[in-house]
Amino acid sequence: MSKYAGVIQEARKPENQKAREPETIEETGVNLSIKVPKSLRRHWVAEAKRQDTTITAVITEALKARFGEPG
């Protein structure tokens, strides 16, 4: 038996379990690739920088506005 067996058994008891709130769980980011003309990409990146934002933020906002969020 390991020296931590008692600690592990105690933590597994239902009364010692803590439920996580859904808003505290963070999802990992994934890539979403699309093909766009290079000249448009340059223009959009430059405009995003001028407006102190990112292309990711703009695309995420547009997708949420169009399709909403799950749940």
Looking at residue 23, what is its pLDDT? 63
Q: Tens digit of pLDDT for each residue in 15-70?
A: 877 776 666 667 888 999 999 999 999 999 999 999 999 999 999 999 999 999 98
Q: Tens digit of pLDDT for each residue in 20-30?
A: 666 666 788 89
Q: Are 48 and 54 in contact (CB under 8 A)?
A: yes
* Helix 38-50, helix 55-67: angle, nearest 10: 100
Looking at residue 8, what is its pLDDT? 82
What the block records as the tokens of 23 is 């808003």
Residue 9's pLDDT band, with cuts at 50, 70 and 90, is confident
Q: With a threshold of 0.85, does the pTM exceed it?
A: no
